[in-house]
Each structure stands twice: as structure tokens, then as C-alpha cells.
Structure 1
């Protein structure tokens, strides 16, 4: 259906709406995100700018939840092109860490205590704990025991 709708034309919005409705009843979340992006891109041509923003934000949320840059980028780009101000993208991987957070998480999986890590890095223990907590949030983990799976192999 998305392929047929890509030709544009009067039936485009209807075809994409049908595609979205069909995909909403499946677990094909990335396909749904792409269909929502396509629908959001063509809705303004038929005067539905508010509905367009809603569909594009749904696509963006869905793509981010699936961790798909391939689906996130187009939705974000169409929102920007439409003049919307989408929220900042979530940062939830190793590349989102600051230099200090990276240094701390590299020491944390070992047997060093918080006091030992703070001493090693010449910072207060509370500062080290703050950075470690921020790193856990960005990595989407809950403690040191999850660091091994969250960090790339050295």
C-alpha cells in the first residue's frame, strides 16, 4: 500500500490511511513508523496540517522506541520541514555519554568502589555518583550489573 501511495495523487492520503490502519493491527512497528511518516508528509497537501504533526510525532515516538535511526531520521526531517519544533532526540547509547561519564563507566564494572573511582578520577564521591547515575539513564540500565551488556567490547 505504501508503494502505491508513493505515486502521490488524490487517493494517496486514503491509501496511506488504510496502510496505517492495517499496520496498527500488527507488530510491524517499523513499517508502521514509515507509513505514519509518509502519511504525515502528504497530509498538509490536503489541508490537514494539525493531523500531519500528530502522525509525524507518532512516527517519531514509535521509531525511537524501536531504536531505529532509519525510521527516526525521515520523521524528524519532515517535522522540521513542516516548521514544527520536535523535541530533542533521546540519547540512549554510549555515544550520548560525556567524557567524564565515559571514564566512570569504564571503571565501574571492575571491583572498584565508588570512593576508589572518585579518588582515581580526582573528583568527589557525590560527583562521581551523579555522573554514574546520568550514564545509567543514558544507557537505559539500572546498575553496574547491566554495564557489561551496555558497553561495547573493548
Structure 2
């Protein structure tokens, strides 16, 4: 169901009904059943959490936050997470581009019994906008960030925007 809302949002953003703030965008598309964690908070505890990237493989391959495991969105399977040997009360942070898809995945993690799950507010866009590093598949620092779509790219203020072909 959220897929439909996501595509509708992209349609309306093209024709002028776009949100004016990230808060508005997230309130529009998220249930907010999962608590947010800020990029500043994540930066402080990054080495102590399980970090999952809920973007698609091509987005992750452009760049991702160090130590993040790509679990995807469209073909997400809870078994990928369970293979990581995570305790149900371990801290998990999930991110995507802005925080919409990551909420969906976070809800699935909660349903699977994980109790300490957070959604990264503003996702990798907010991470990069705060000058925090992202890496490519070779583990090298990069300025590139997959912008998801031309419409949502407006939220990525820093770095080099990359789009899928």
C-alpha cells in the first residue's frame, strides 16, 4: 500500500503539490510508529548499532553509510536480517534516501520481534547534508549519492547527485 502512496507522492511533486519541509514530507508518508534517530545521534553511536540500508541495490552501490548492510526494499526478506545474528533487543537503525521506505522496513523488523528499532530522520540525504561521509563499494570516500528521483533530489543539498539509467 505504501508503494502506491510513494508513487502518488512522486506524481504530485512533479505537478506542484510538493511538501515545503522534510517534516511535512515525513508526516505525510509515515505513520511515525517507529522512533526517529537524528544523523547527529547516529554519528555518536554508529559503531554500537546494526545499520541497515533499505534502498535498492543500485542506490547502495553508488554510496552508503560505512558499516551499513543493504537489505533492500522491494525484495526485502527478514531472513537477511536474521542471518546477522542480532539479538531482539540490539539497537537497529534503518535508513533510505529520506526516511519513508526505511519506516516500512523498520515496521517489518518490529513485527519480527526486534524491539529497539530506529528510523534515520532524513536518511542518507540528511547524513550527507550534514557533511558526514559516505563510501562506495570499494570502501572509499565518495561525494556521490543516489538521488532516488529528480523530484526527491531537492532534499539532497550536498554531494553529487546520481540517478539510475
TM range (shorter): under 0.3
Structure number with greater CO (CA < 8 Å, separation at least 6) is: 2
TM superposition score normalised by structure 2: 0.26
Pick the structure with more helix per residue.
1
Pick the structure with more strand per residue.
2
Choose 1 or 2 for highest CA Rg: 1
TM superposition score normalised by structure 1: 0.27
